[in-house]
Amino acid sequence: MAELCLRGFLQRLRGSGELLVWRDEVDIRYGVSRILKEHDGGPAILFESVKGHELRVVGNVVSKRDRLMAATGASSDVELYKKLLDACSNPLRTKPSSDGAFMEVELSSLKELPILIHYEGDGGPYITSGIVVARDPETDFQNASFHRMMVIDDKRLVLRIVPRHLYRIYEKYRSAGKDAPVAVMIGCHPAVMLAAASSPPYGVSELHVANRLLGGRLETAMLPEVGLEVERWCEVVLVGRLLRGEIHDEGPFVDITGTYDIVRKQPVMAVDRILVRSDAMYQALLPAGSEHRVLMGFFREALIWSYTSRVAEVKAVRLTKGGCGWLHCVISIRKATEGDGKNVILAAFAAHPSLKMVVVVDDDIDVDDPSDVEWAVATRFQADRDLVVIGRVRGSSLDPSADQRTLLTTKMGIDATRTLTKPSHHFERARIPS
Ligand code: MN
């Protein structure tokens, strides 16, 4: 069996005591999501006995950021930021095998998959770990991106498609009067998940980004009937079409903030084939859980690190848990000149347009400790001098306090670095000698 796949990665987690095997029977309606939530930020969990289903369920796979590093051989956040940005600018072409029969089992209905109902107000069962691949009809470019998808019936899904790369491909087919062939990969290696959660420019294939991250060792296969390339060892592949003439209500569903996103009319996918490996696992990904935040935020952290590093010596960047892993950021710097903090604030907003609040601290502050960050604000920050407020700028669609129609929001930067106009010993934490 290949090592570079979800199963190989889980085997490694098992070896390091980070895989919890859950033997009691669980229910896909709230049962699995409740257990994933209770263990959020902890071990990956493999549910061996799922009520009414043959397939096992695995969740919380990369619910800790150090698992992304383990999966890609990086030794620190900053090393993986560099690796990921480099992989996006220097993707490495894959060599797909043409072994069309690589999936052993075919199912006849989406109901045979243990697709979870996560929260009480959800519009239906939702696939949350699905990576959609589609090919530009005019070029050879194949995109891969995460989309949540709600089950409508045995063979149809409605997908949330924000106007980015997949949407562009779908529109090209639609304007030519055609359905867009797509495949959905479920249960991929974490490097593929990380690449698909990143945003390299249109024309850069996320599978090639993952292949670069894995040093050219990613194995892929072509699906002959649709001409689409997928990870060779992923657990489940749905083959189908985004229908040109059909839209459906999508939602309600919980996004990264933990609140319900609004219901929208979205494109429908007809599922023609459901292919699974023998003894397959279905991957669950808890909305608004740590894994969601880690995957969605990591590429943005890398961009913030890259942009802010141009104006100051940046030590650490963190999209915080309380800020939904998306809206708030703490950045620690080694301050060299007065005003560095404000330049870092401006660079961070330029790097990640959804960002709503930035706190800049000195490098003696732990970006992962909210109390430490607050201590810096309490002892090093003056609002009349160190606060930056920028009103009515384009922000995130996910923040319910913003205008979700125009996306206009107000952004705030807090420069909580100590001023260089006072001696530094005024700001240092007292120590007890050993
Ligand atoms: Mn893309």
CATH number for the domain spanning 240: value is 2.30.110.10
The confidence band for 100, taking pLDDT boundaries of 50, 70 and 90, is: low
Residue 280: inside a domain? yes
> 272 and 356, same structural domain?
no
Point out the catalytic residue in the list 40, 122, 255, 340. 255
Task: State the distance from the centre of ligand 1 to the C-alpha of 164, rounded, in angstroms.
Answer: 8
Q: Is residue 74's pLDDT more than 80?
A: yes
The rounded Å distance from CA 354 to ligand 1 centre is 18
pLDDT grade, residue 3 (50/70/90)? confident
17 part of a folded domain: no
Claim to verify: residue 172 and residue 87 sit in the same structural domain? yes
Q: Specify whether 276 is located in the same domain as 334.
A: no
Look at residue 99 and tell me whether its pLDDT is greater than 80. no
Distance 207 CA to ligand 1 centre (A): 10
Residues above pLDDT 90, as percent of the chain: 94
- Work out the pLDDT band at 249, boundaries 50, 70, 90: very high
User: In the prediction, which pLDDT does 98 show?
Assistant: 78
Q: Calculate how far, in angstroms, residue 311's C-alpha sits from the geometric centre of ligand 1.
A: 28
Residues 178 and 270 grouped into a single domain: yes
Q: Tell me the pLDDT band of 70, cut-offs 50, 70 and 90.
A: very high
Within a domain: residue 303? no
The model's pLDDT over 325-363, given as tens digits with 9 standing for 90+, comes to 999 999 999 999 999 999 999 999 999 999 999 999 999
Query: 255 catalytic, yes or no?
Result: yes
Query: What pLDDT was estimated at residue 344?
Result: 98
What mean pLDDT, rounded, does the chain reach?
96
Average pLDDT (229-247) is 96
Kindly state whether residue 116 falls inside one of the protein's structural domains.
Answer: yes
* Residue range 400-423, pLDDT digits in tens: 899 878 989 999 999 999 999 999
C-alpha 142 – ligand 1 centre gap (Å): 8
262 and 362 inside one domain = no
Which of left, alpha, beta for 424 (phi over 0: left; psi -120 to 50: alpha)? alpha
Q: How far is the CA of 165 from the centre of ligand 1 (A)?
A: 5
Report the separation in Å between the CA atom of 152 and the middle of ligand 1, taken as the mean of its atom positions: 26
Mean pLDDT of the 254-259 span: 94
User: pLDDT: is 2 or 110 the higher one?
Assistant: 110
CATH classification at residue 338: 3.40.1670.10
Say if residue 181 is preceded by a cis peptide, omega within 30 of 0. no
Q: Measure 400 CA to ligand 1 centroid, in angstroms.
A: 26
Residue 286 — pLDDT band, cuts 50, 70, 90? very high
Same domain, 137 and 237: yes
Residues 259 and 372 in one domain: no
Instruction: Give distance in angstroms: CA of 133 to centre of ligand 1.
Output: 9
Claim to verify: residue 210 and residue 274 sit in the same structural domain: yes
Residues 271 and 188 in one domain: yes
Give residue 205 CA to ligand 1 midpoint distance, Å: 6
Going by pLDDT thresholds of 50, 70 and 90, the confidence category of residue 101 is low
User: Domain tally for the chain?
Assistant: 2
Confidence of residue 64 (pLDDT cuts 50, 70, 90): very high
With a cut of 80, say whether residue 260 has pLDDT above it: yes
- Boundaries of domain holding 207: 65-290
Is 23 contained in some domain? Answer: no
For 149-189, how does the pLDDT look when each residue is reduced to its tens digit (9 = 90+)? 999 999 999 999 999 999 999 999 999 999 999 999 999 99
Q: Are residues 271 and 384 in the same domain?
A: no
**Residue 253 located in a structural domain:** yes
CA distance 41 to 128: 18
User: Are 244 and 366 found together in one domain?
Assistant: no
For residues 310-322, give the mean pLDDT.
98
Same domain, yes or no: 240 and 363: no
